[in-house]
Amino acid sequence: MSPLKGYSLDYREEIKNLEIKGEKVTFYFRWFFIAIVFIILTIYYTEHSINNRNIFFISFAVVPLLYNLFLQYIFIKNKYKPFIKYLSMFIDTTLISIGIFISSYAYSLLYTITAPTVLVYSAILALSITRIDSMFVVFSTLYTVISLNTVYILWFKTFSNTIDYSMMMSLGYTHQQQIRKSIFLIILGFISYYTVSVLKKFIYSTIEASTKARNAEKRLIKQYQIILNNLNI
């Protein structure tokens, strides 16, 4: 059952339109990210030779490009469906998580440690607000926390023996720091959830007030017409 069932048609339409606009905001952010990635790759590969490892990263960067082209078609054909926001969230977070982890193999063991993972996941989580969907914010929060810790666990099991623990502590890549990062994302998720709830209440009250005003205007017009008809008699 739709979470909007039982609300007025105007409210459901407004929430749907805002959700699509929110998806488009993420869509444009993804284009910006794609542009930055390809600029960096272009600069890097003008000075370095291309090998199998590099081809993997180039193909990896193509995935969000293809997905955005798919979304472009969806928007043009007006075929947006609510599940798309979940698909977008899953693809963005998964690709970033894989990229952060794989970079430790491709470039440096310290890449995963020094990468601004919390900032990246926070940005993804903040963008979930634009969909105006409380349950989607819950999903986004859980998935970003799971992704953050999955990257950490995989990296720790794979590379922790190759790096001095004191260095990991100095860089803030320990179990305790990971718990703090997770708590931070959960708090951010709670704030995002509360923000969406407030926005939905504001939208609902605004639409209800507008609907009441229109209905009152219609009643006044109807009463005015009745009075005019009586005067004509």
**Distance, CA of 169 to CA of 177 (rounded, Å):** 9
pLDDT digits (tens, 9 = 90+) for 11-56: 778 888 889 999 999 999 999 988 887 787 777 667 666 665 666 6
Top-confidence residue, 167 or 220: 220
Asked if pLDDT for residue 160 goes beyond 70, the answer is: no
**Distance, CA of 225 to CA of 102 (rounded, Å):** 73
Of the ranges 44-58, 114-128, 132-146, which one carries the lowest mean pLDDT score?
A: 44-58
| The pLDDT of residue 5 | 56
Residues with Cβ within 8 Å of residue 129, at least 6 apart in sequence: 22, 137, 192, 195, 196, 199
Top-confidence residue, 132 or 159: 132
For residue 127, CA distances in Å to 75, 138, 162, 196 come to 19, 13, 36, 11
pTM of the model: 0.80
Asked if pLDDT for residue 1 goes beyond 50, the answer is: no
Average pLDDT, the chain: 81
Is residue 126 within 8 Å of residue 189, measured between CB atoms? no
Residues with Cβ within 8 Å of residue 71, at least 6 apart in sequence: 23, 27, 84, 88
